[in-house]
Amino acid sequence: MKNILFVCTGNSARSIIAESIINNEYSNKFKAFSAGSNPSGKINIDVRSFLEKNKNYDLTNYSSKNFEEFINNEIKMDHVITVCNNANNEVCPIWPDKNQIIHWDIDDPVTKLQNANDEEKQIIMIIVGSGLMAENLTNDTAVMLIANTIATGAGLFVLITVFADVSGAHFNPFVSIAMTITGKLKKRLLPFYISAQILGCLLGVALANFFFEHQIFELSTKSRDGIYIFVSEIIATLGLIIIIFGSMKSGKITVAASVGLYITAGYWFTSSTSFANPAVAIARTFTESFTGISYLNTPFYIAAELIGMLIAIYLVKKIFLNK
């Protein structure tokens, strides 16, 4: 049996994840340890929650510690694997015996989670906040929709352009799932993305409500029901995912413009006003504004979006990935 030491800077996320996977899935061949050059002293709460609840790993004896404990330790390490990210200018720990070191360039899942959270918070603030501002300025529904449309389309373009190189600018759980199924997003990141997307949307709607002197969270009474709306939301989500995959090869500016313009148009050519995002649908349940949706209708929106995603994945594989 070989001993492996996973080393990163804080020993709170990546190295802990690696250690726990090896010890739980490959314990017949390897014994894993982890440490950090500047340990944080505790395991990241999101990482612990994911490993214990989603993977059913027991982290009772896991801790964040300094790698100096292993330098002169009686336990001989067969391999020392650093899991920092040189691409993001992280300073990788230095191990005395360079012959033992293997480097895995791995993005920090916690940073990914935080970035995705910020992005989602900003887009829902734009959607709900622009709707609230429009309500304050006019009683004309068409003018409200125009204001909401322009703000959302412009906000999407800017946010996708800015965050595309940071976290992929994932605002949408169903887009992230589609990316995972088609191999564009690593499976291990998906739970972090979806958690951040939903939490970010809830924080965003809370801030938008607060900005315009509404209750932080208030249940919407705006009815959005009917089979025509259900089918409309299927098409909205299907179209969004196809637009994203179809424009990816042309670069982030093209993706940003395509998504922003598609959602801008979708406000007008769909009776559902093109939510196309389950995290947004959940968040908009908590605003009693022009942009809200009754909690009774939210599950049907999400079901429609799920159907749209599944159809889109099938079409994307046929159109864009089988070449």
Q: What is the share, in percent, of the chain residues with pLDDT greater than 90?
A: 52
Identify the burial level of 86 via C-beta atoms within 10 angstroms of its C-beta, where 0-12 means exposed, 13-18 middle and 19 or more buried: exposed
Average pLDDT, the chain: 87
Mean of the pLDDT values across residues 279-303? 95
pLDDT tens profile 244-290: 999 998 888 999 999 999 999 999 999 999 999 999 999 999 999 88
Instruction: Say if residue 134 is in the same domain as residue 282.
Output: yes
User: Kind and range of the H or E element at 23?
Assistant: helix 14-25
pLDDT at 323: 57
Instruction: Say if residue 82 is in the same domain as residue 147.
Output: no
Instruction: Say if residue 81 is in the same domain as residue 146.
Output: no
Q: Which residues are catalytic?
A: 8, 84, 92
Instruction: Say if residue 86 is in the same domain as residue 117.
Output: no
pLDDT tens profile 183-238: 888 888 899 899 999 999 999 999 999 999 899 999 999 999 999 999 999 999 99
For residue 97, pLDDT over 80 is answered with: no
For residue 242, pLDDT over 70 is answered with: yes
| Number of structural domains the chain divides into | 2
- State the Cα–Cα distance between residues 85 and 157, nearest whole angstrom: 28
Q: Which of 51, 76, 103 is the last residue of a domain?
A: 103
Instruction: Say if residue 62 is in the same domain as residue 39.
Output: yes
pLDDT at 76: 83
Query: Which long-range contacts link 83-87 to residues 24+ away (Cβ below 8 Å)?
Result: 83/6, 83/7, 83/8, 83/14, 83/15, 83/18, 84/8, 84/9, 84/14
pLDDT at 321: 86
Mean of the pLDDT values across residues 162-182? 89
Q: Which of 103, 120, 137 is the last residue of a domain?
A: 103
Instruction: Say if residue 300 is in the same domain as residue 153.
Output: yes
pLDDT at 83: 84
Parent domain of 256: 109-319
The CATH number covering residue 280 comes to 1.20.1080.10
Q: Which of 103, 131, 150 is the last residue of a domain?
A: 103
pLDDT at 122: 72
For residue 316, pLDDT over 90 is answered with: yes
The CATH number covering residue 12 comes to 3.40.50.2300
Instruction: Say if residue 145 is in the same domain as residue 279.
Output: yes
Mean of the pLDDT values across residues 279-305? 95
- State the Cα–Cα distance between residues 39 and 69, nearest whole angstrom: 12
Q: Which residues of 136-152 are buried (b: 16+ CB within 10 A; e: fewer)?
A: eeeeeeeebbebbbebb
pTM: 0.65
Instruction: Say if residue 169 is in the same domain as residue 260.
Output: yes
For residue 157, pLDDT over 80 is answered with: yes
For residue 136, pLDDT over 90 is answered with: no
Instruction: Say if residue 69 is in the same domain as residue 147.
Output: no
Instruction: Say if residue 235 is in the same domain as residue 199.
Output: yes
Residue pair 46/199 in contact (Cβ under 8 Å)? The answer is no
Lowest mean pLDDT among 67-81, 152-166, 187-201, 282-296: 67-81
Instruction: Say if residue 99 is in the same domain as residue 172.
Output: no
For residue 143, pLDDT over 70 is answered with: yes
Instruction: Say if residue 130 is in the same domain as residue 74.
Output: no
